[in-house]
């Protein structure tokens, strides 16, 4: 039987009270892409544009119960994971997604450290991420610091970025989008690597401090497009265009790293 794409996206991630990143960015981004956002909250962060001031983890059984409640009734065409915080949550989420109700698409944003320096993933959880969750992923979307932690390589230019993307494929995911925004230069490059192809996207860098939540919003926009049947490269291209515009027109709220403009 052919199942029609519906655009239902289950987001498993942390809350950002400031509304710029985390679950809040994910919901706005999925909605802007025409998808239907559902959530399993993993942690509540006390946060604004100046930084993360507190983290309160949700009990692991409550994280799993949220996922089950959504999956058993509504269903999900794609799942996106963001801040998972602990090894225990990573393992429980992976177990949930590897069972018979595995989603058609799983986008894993390996969130580790907030721009202000707060650890959103405990060090002990990195091994679990590599061993149990990333192998289930359709796509992982690390930035340069995250890719360096996951590969143990240093990434300094486009050549080392491509080599690291290739190494990350070795963890067992179907595709890697290694985002180059943390490297210097007027042009930034994002490398999309699959077992068959490598595609390099480029954009002019926008000179702004208002980039809070870009990683969350990008991964969620891709998940929403995949959930609606858009092919991977086209989904990444459209999501990048969306985020570029969202940064360019950011409203400038707050005294620190402000949120994006989540245009529909
Ligand atoms: N807070 C939460 C809950 C997040 O999931 C993320 C995502 O990466 C961040 C903060 C980090 O946002 P940024 O590094 O873009 O400031």
pTM of the model: 0.96
Cα(77) to centroid(ligand 1), Å = 24
pLDDT reported for residue 102: 85
For the cut 80, the answer to whether the pLDDT of residue 159 exceeds it is yes
Alpha-carbon span 156 to 144, nearest angstrom: 9
For the segment 201-214, what is each residue's pLDDT rounded down to a tens digit? 999 999 999 999 99
Cα–Cα distance measured from residue 94 to residue 18, given in angstroms and rounded to the nearest whole number:
28
d(CA 216, CA 25): 6
Q: 22-67, pLDDT tens digit by residue?
A: 999 999 999 999 999 999 999 999 999 999 999 999 999 999 999 9
Q: What is the DSSP letter of 58?
A: P
Residues whose CB is less than 8 angstroms from the CB of residue 221 and which lie 6 or more positions away in sequence, other chains included:
29, 30, 32, 33, 238, 239, 242, 243
Nearest CA to ligand 1 atom 2: 22
Ligand 1 site, residue 247, Cβ cutoff 6 A: no
- 141's CB contacts (< 8 A; 6+ apart) are 107, 108, 109, 110, 177, 179, 215, 218, 219, 222
Share of the chain above pLDDT 70, in %: 98
Give the Cα separation of 45 and 54 in Å (integer): 6
Ligand 1 centroid – CA 54 distance (Å):
13
Mutation to probe ligand 1, out of 83, 84, 121, 209 (largest number of atoms < 8 A from CB): 83
Report helix angle 214-227 to 22-32, nearest 10.
40
The pLDDT, as a whole number, for residue 158 is: 97
pLDDT digits (tens, 9 = 90+) for 89-103: 999 999 999 977 788
- Measured CA to CA, the distance from residue 11 to residue 40 in angstroms comes to 6
Distance between Cα 69 and ligand 1 center (Å): 25
**Pocket lining: 80 vs ligand 1, CB cutoff 6 Å:** no
Whether the Cβ atoms of residue 178 and residue 144 lie closer than 8 Å to each other: yes
Q: Are 120 and 90 in contact (CB under 8 A)?
A: no
- Contact assessment for residue 198 and residue 191, using Cβ atoms and an 8 Å cutoff: yes
Q: Do 170 and 130 contact (CB within 8 A), yes or no?
A: no
> Angle, to 10 degrees, between the axis of helix 158-169 and the axis of helix 144-151?
50
pLDDT of 5: 60
CA of 26 to the centre of ligand 1 (A): 11
260 lines ligand 1 (CB under 6 A): no
- Does the beta carbon of 120 sit less than 6 angstroms from any atom of ligand 1? yes
CA 16 to each of CA 33, 36, 122, 155, 175: distance values in angstroms, whole numbers, following the listed order:
20, 19, 18, 29, 28
Q: Tokens for 258?
A: 């402000």
Average pLDDT over residues 244-252: 95
Query: What is the average pLDDT across 136-148?
Result: 97
Structure tokens at 118: 């707060």
How many angstroms does the Cα of residue 1 sit away from the middle of ligand 1?
39
* CA-211 nearest atom, ligand 1: 15
Of 216, 217, 219, 250, best ligand 1 pocket probe by most atoms within 8 Å of the beta carbon: 216
Which residue has its alpha carbon closest to ligand 1 atom 12? Answer: 213
- With 90 as the cut, is the pLDDT of residue 264 above it? no
**Per residue in 183-234, pLDDT tens?**
999 999 999 999 999 999 999 999 999 999 999 999 999 999 999 999 999 9
For residue 3, pLDDT over 90 is answered with: no
Q: Is the CATH number of domain 8-138+210-248 3.40.1190.20? A: yes
**Which positions are catalytic?**
179, 211, 213-216
Q: Domain ranges for the chain, please list them.
A: 8-138+210-248
Asked if pLDDT for residue 1 goes beyond 60, the answer is no
Q: Which of 213, 220, 250 to mutate to test the pocket of ligand 1 (most atoms within 8 A of CB)?
A: 213
Instruction: Identify the residue whose tokens are 């208002």.
Output: 210
Q: Taking a C-beta distance cutoff of 8 angstroms, is the pair 13, 23 a contact?
A: yes
């Amino acid at each position: 039987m052919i199942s029609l794409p519906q655009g239902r996206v289950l987001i498993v991630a942390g809350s950002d009270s400031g509304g710029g990143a985390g679950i809040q960015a994910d919901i706005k981004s999925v909605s802007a892409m025409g998808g239907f956002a559902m959530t399993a909250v993993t942690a509540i962060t006390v946060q604004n544009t100046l930084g993360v001031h507190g983290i309160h983890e949700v009990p692991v059984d409550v994280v799993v119960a949220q996922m089950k409640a959504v999956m058993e009734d509504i269903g999900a065409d794609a799942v996106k994971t963001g801040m998972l915080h602990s090894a225990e949550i990573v393992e429980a989420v992976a177990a949930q997604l590897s069972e018979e109700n595995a989603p058609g698409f799983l986008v894993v944003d390996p969130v580790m450290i907030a721009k202000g320096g707060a650890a959103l993933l405990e060090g002990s959880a990195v091994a679990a991420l590599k061993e149990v969750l990333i192998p289930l992923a359709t796509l992982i979307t690390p930035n340069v610091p995250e890719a360096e932690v996951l590969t143990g390589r240093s990434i300094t230019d486009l050549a080392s970025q491509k080599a690291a993307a290739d190494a990350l494929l070795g963890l067992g995911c179907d595709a890697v989008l290694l985002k180059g925004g943390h490297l210097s230069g007027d042009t930034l490059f994002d490398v999309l690597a699959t077992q068959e192809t490598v595609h390099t996207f480029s954009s002019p860098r926008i000179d702004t401090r208002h980039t809070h939540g870009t990683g969350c919003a990008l991964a969620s926009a891709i998940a929403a497009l995949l959930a609606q049947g858009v092919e991977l490269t086209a989904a990444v291209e459209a999501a990048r265009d969306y985020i570029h515009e969202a940064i360019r027109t950011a409203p400038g709220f707050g005294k620190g790293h402000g949120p994006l403009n989540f245009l529909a």
